[in-house]
């Protein structure tokens, strides 16, 4: 296989710790690639007024594959205060660079696998009959629509008159019509048929390829009739081509309540942007939480792979680093799968499974310790030690 070029975007905080760890593991497994560093995150917001510089966009457009660590985001007003003084009052508005990247490259398919590793002390357990303890095997893959819905960014505080007029044309707006616009905030939830077709289509394709018996649409079509309704109707139509795969329909709220009752029953789950974000965090919590939650953002041309955790600023300066690199390494495995290096991905996952099974090298989160420099004295392994343990198994 020819040598790949991968754009690496460590970003902020612990992104700068876990991304290099994943590159060591990729090297060790024999993945041949040139890595090109690209700038993203808070530092570039402060210095340049743009957390996603054009040069980074150009690199991604050229090389198509990105590995991303994490970024720090702050609310709008706080963001402006941290701008370099020479950039203030120039109309710069902070916008999350990862959300911007997803929209810029139409990375509309977000895949978030949540699979339990045997013997992970963070695995969900529940009581069974006669006070027994059951540890269900969770193997769920969430397909989250990644560019539209509540994260589409079409929103206003104090909406302009033309928007107010449009809203007033809807009978249900009667309940809000007497509120002065300056006391009104509106965030739209726009779904398109094209995006619904793509996310549901990919979910069914994946279910068939990997032998999952069901695809669950996790929305709320009985209340959010138009958008959730479009997702469900799309699934009902596409399922006709997949008679071997059952279509289930759950409401997001009920799904969160029942998450712990029978997580082993679910396979592939498909949802819009917001509900996909929520349900994937819910399932990630059953299999180890943020230290294990990996993801892929896949568009028709470009794909970016990232852990779902953020920059965890309180741990960024700890030396040695203590955070769990597994979410980032598992995200790198998704990249390997994407470029057809499935055997290398499988070997890394097996190495991680062995390290977990052995139980000797756990980061603080796996030992259920409160994070801080003292965890190493309390028996936790550092980020480097866990990375080295995985590499040793390879
Ligand atoms: P976070 O995910 O950074 O951290 C939450 C907590 O989870 C941490 O305090 C830590 O205890 C734990 N944690 C996270 N990653 C871990 C790892 N690899 N190993 C062990 N423990 C880990 O979320 P938080 O604190 O809400 O946000 C911090 C910053 O990150 C904010 O500026 C936020 O906007 C940003 N963020 C960025 C994301 C991204 O880059 N995609 C996603 C989520 C938050
Ligand atoms: Mg999230």
Closest Cα partner for 262 from 120, 116, 126? 126
* Percentage of the residues of the chain whose pLDDT score is greater than 90: 94
Q: pLDDT (tens digit, 9 = 90+) per residue, 213-245?
A: 999 999 999 999 999 999 999 999 999 999 999
Would you state the pLDDT for residue 207?
Answer: 98
371 lines ligand 1 (CB under 6 A): yes
Atom of ligand 1 nearest to the CA of 68: 40
Spatial contact of 356 and 120, defined as CB atoms under 8 Å apart: yes
Ramachandran region of residue 111, left (φ > 0), alpha (ψ -120 to 50) or beta? beta
Looking at the predicted structure, is the pLDDT value of residue 148 above 80?
A: yes
Exposed, middle or buried by CB within 10 Å (0-12, 13-18, 19+), for 146?
Answer: buried
340 dihedral zone (left: phi>0; alpha: psi -120 to 50; beta)? left
**Stretch (H or E) spanning 272:** none
Q: Which residues, at least 6 apart from 377, have a Cβ–Cβ distance to it below 8 Å? A: none
pLDDT of 3: 84
For range 256-275, the mean pLDDT: 95
Burial track 259-295 (b if 16+ CB lie within 10 A, e otherwise): beeebbebbbbbbbbbbbbbbbbbbbbbbbbbbbbbb
Q: Which two tokens stand for residue 304?
A: 């970016």
CB of 309 sitting under 6 A from ligand 1: yes
Number of the ligand 1 atom closest to the C-alpha atom of 11 = 40
Identify whether the C-beta of residue 367 lies closer than 8 Å to the C-beta of residue 385.
Answer: no
Going by alpha carbons, the residue nearest to atom 43 of ligand 1 is: 310
Neighbours of 378 (CB within 10 A): 11
Give the number of residues written for the chain: 394
Domains and CATH numbers, the chain: 1-108+296-394 (3.40.718.10), 124-152+189-286 (3.40.718.10), 154-187 (no CATH)
CB 65, CB 4: distance < 8 Å = yes
Residue 1 has pLDDT above 70, yes or no: no
pLDDT score of 91: 87
- For the Cβ of 290 lying below 6 angstroms from any atom of ligand 1, the answer is yes
Identify the pLDDT of residue 75.
87
Task: Kindly state if the Cβ of 365 falls inside 6 Å of ligand 1.
Answer: yes
pTM of the full predicted structure? 0.95
Cβ of 311 below 6 Å from ligand 1: yes
Q: 20 CB under 6 A from ligand 1?
A: no
pLDDT at 120: 97
Asked if the model's pLDDT at residue 298 lies above 60, the reply is yes
Contact 302, 61 (CB under 8 A): yes
Is residue 318 in contact with ligand 1, taking CB distance under 6 Å?
no
**DSSP 8-state secondary structure symbol assigned to residue 266:** -
Q: Ligand 2 centre and the CA of 245: distance in Å?
A: 28
Alpha carbon distance 359, 327 (integer Å): 17
Greatest Cα pair distance in the chain: 68
Tell me the C-alpha distance between 17 and 294, whole Å. Answer: 16
Tell me the C-alpha distance between 113 and 140, whole Å.
Answer: 6
Give me the pLDDT at residue 309, please. 95
Averaged over 199-220, what is the pLDDT? Answer: 98
pLDDT-based confidence at 90, cuts 50/70/90? confident
Arithmetic mean of pLDDT over the chain: 96
Q: What is the pLDDT of residues 165-188, one digit of tens each?
A: 999 999 999 999 999 999 999 999
Q: pLDDT tens across 341-366, in order?
A: 999 999 999 999 999 999 999 999 99
Mutate to test the pocket of ligand 1, among 312, 365, 366 (most ligand atoms within 8 A of CB): 312
Residue 312 Cα: closest atom of ligand 1? 3
pLDDT at 88: 87
What is the pLDDT at residue 241?
A: 98
pLDDT exceeds 60 at position 261: yes
d(CA 43, CA 61): 22
Q: Is the pLDDT of residue 194 over 70?
A: yes
The pLDDT of residue 89 is 83
> How large is the average pLDDT for residues 34-48?
97
CA distance 164 to 259: 39
CA–CA dist 299, 113 (Å, integer): 17
CA–CA dist 200, 145 (Å, integer)? 9
Cβ 312 vs Cβ 364: under 8 Å: no
Instruction: Tokens for 274, please give them.
Output: 């917001």
Going from the C-alpha of 377 to that of each of 356, 360, 363, 381, 382, the distances in angstroms are: 20, 14, 12, 9, 10
């Amino acid at each position: 296989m020819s040598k790949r070029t991968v754009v690496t975007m460590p970003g902020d905080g612990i992104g700068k710790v876990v991304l290099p760890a994943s590159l060591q593991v990729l090297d060790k497994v024999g993945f041949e690639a040139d890595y090109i560093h690209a700038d993203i995150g808070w530092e570039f917001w402060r210095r340049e007024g743009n957390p996603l510089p054009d040069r980074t966009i150009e690199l991604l457009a050229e090389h198509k594959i990105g590995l991303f660590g994490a970024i720090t985001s702050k609310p709008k007003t706080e963001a402006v205060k941290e701008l370099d003084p020479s950039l203030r009052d120039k109309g710069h508005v902070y916008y999350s660079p990862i959300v911007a990247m997803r929209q810029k490259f139409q990375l509309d398919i977000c895949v978030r696998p949540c699979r339990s590793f045997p013997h992970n002390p963070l695995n969900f357990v529940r009581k069974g009959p006669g006070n027994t303890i059951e540890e269900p095997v969770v193997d769920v893959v969430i397909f989250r629509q990644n560019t539209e819905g509540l994260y589409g960014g079409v929103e206003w505080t104090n909406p302009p008159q033309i928007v107010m007029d449009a809203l007033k044309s809807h009978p249900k707006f009667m309940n809000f019509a007497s509120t002065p616009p300056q006391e009104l905030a509106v965030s739209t939830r726009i779904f398109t048929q094209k995006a619904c077709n793509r996310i549901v289509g990919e979910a069914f394709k994946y279910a068939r390829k990997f032998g999952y018996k069901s695809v669950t649409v996790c929305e709320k079509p009985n209340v959010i009739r138009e958008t959730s309704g479009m997702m469900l109707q799309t699934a009902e139509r596409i399922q006709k081509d997949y008679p071997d795969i059952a279509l289930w329909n759950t409401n997001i709220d009920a799904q969160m309540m029942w998450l712990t009752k029978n997580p082993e029953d679910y396979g592939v789950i498909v949802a819009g942007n917001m509900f996909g974000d929520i349900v994937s965090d819910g399932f990630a919590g059953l299999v180890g939480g943020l230290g294990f939650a990996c993801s892929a953002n896949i568009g028709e041309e470009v794909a970016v792979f990232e852990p779902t955790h953020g920059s965890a600023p309180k741990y960024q300066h700890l030396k040695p680093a203590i955070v769990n690199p597994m979410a980032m390494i598992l995200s790198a495995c998704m990249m390997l799968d994407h470029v057809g290096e499935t055997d290398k991905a499988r070997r890394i996952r097996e190495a991680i499974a062995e390290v977990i099974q052995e139980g000797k090298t756990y980061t603080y989160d796996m030992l259920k310790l409160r994070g801080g420099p003292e965890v190493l004295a309390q028996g936790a392994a550092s980020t480097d030690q866990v990375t080295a343990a995985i590499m040793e198994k390879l």
